[in-house]
Amino acid sequence: MNANQFPPSNDAQNVTDYPNNNTFFLVWTLKQNAPVADLKKGFQRLCALVINLNNSSLDRFPNAKASCVLGIGHDAWKLLELPEPLPKELHNFEAIAGDKHTAVATGGDFHLHIRADEKSLAYDMATVLSDHLTSMADCIVEVQGFRYWDSRSILGFVDGTENPHGDDRNYFAIIDEQDPAYRGGSYVFVQKYIHDLKAWKALPLEEQEKVFGRSKAQDVEMPDEVKPSNSHSALANVGDDKKVVRDNMPFGSVSSNEMGTYFICYSSNFSTVKTMLTHMFIGNPTGNYDRLLDFSVAKTGALFFAPPLSMLSDFSG
């Protein structure tokens, strides 16, 4: 099917929304040895809360572009006895190790992606969900992202230039014929990167641009004959027919100088994401890894599945 012929899915969570000004990313793991019956009841309530908060935010603040997307990990899917067979490519993410850098695997049972132009609304949504989850799960990652100028990372370059637009976002992010039982769903892959800003700032502008393969000021891609083969744009993009919808956000603490990027992408299949990560961390060819990794270290890595809305509704009871 041609991307331009792919119809919007009315059954998908808000996986194709564009990045906005304020974001909460939360990864939770279910408490060990908790009664499964209690976890199932708590999960049912979680799904109901996500649906309620999305509907309420749309009614109360229609211009706030607020939403919450729930992703579920492989082990939680099995423990909670959700439908089988599982989504075809839902499994525990396994680390991808190159000679120098590794895409680590840290896991997680639930991922919450909360967005709103109004920070207060994003905070309230995150608080309601966290208050509920605390009794059944532990939060292992909490990142508060923010929009930096014209969608740039803290490194100063525009992030997400290769994102698809229009109906192409639905085509690349939402499952259709690939897995009919989960039509309207989406794979969610996340990583938390920490930047070495001292080393990065010591790099001359010309070298920074070679790392990205783009100009810093105008975000213009270098011609193929000039762009280094180990630049980020050369390795992170694996073909016009293999794209994902990214919603990355910068985050960090100025006082500690620990600044980074939370990478998140939605895809109709995980194989595209795995190819991208393999090119970046192992190299294409092997050894020709993404030079950006010399300045940005992956601290987390996990794969989730965002069920379609109809399934989320079923889960809510």
Per domain, the residue ranges of the chain are 3-315
Residue 212 confidence (pLDDT) above 70: yes
Alpha-carbon gap, residue 153 to 195, rounded angstroms: 10
Q: Which of 159, 168, 247, 290 is catalytic?
A: 159
Q: Are the CB atoms for 233 and 240 separated by under 8 Å?
A: no
pLDDT score of 109 more than 80: yes
pLDDT digits (tens, 9 = 90+) for 3-57: 444 545 689 999 999 888 999 999 999 999 999 999 999 999 999 999 999 999 9
Does the annotation mark 159 as catalytic?
A: yes
pLDDT tens per residue, range 225-257: 999 999 999 999 999 999 999 999 999 998 887
Residue 276 has pLDDT above 50, yes or no: yes
SS3 call for 291: helix
From residue 71, give the alpha-carbon distance in Å to each of 15, 112, 197, 217, 316: 10, 6, 31, 35, 14
Residues 6 or more apart whose Cβ sits within 8 Å of residue 91:
74, 303
Q: How far is CA 35 from CA 18, 31, 79, 109, 315, in A?
A: 38, 9, 11, 16, 18
pLDDT, the chain, mean: 95
Tell me what pLDDT residue 257 has.
79
* Amino acid, res. 100: K
pLDDT of residue 3: 43
pLDDT at 314: 97
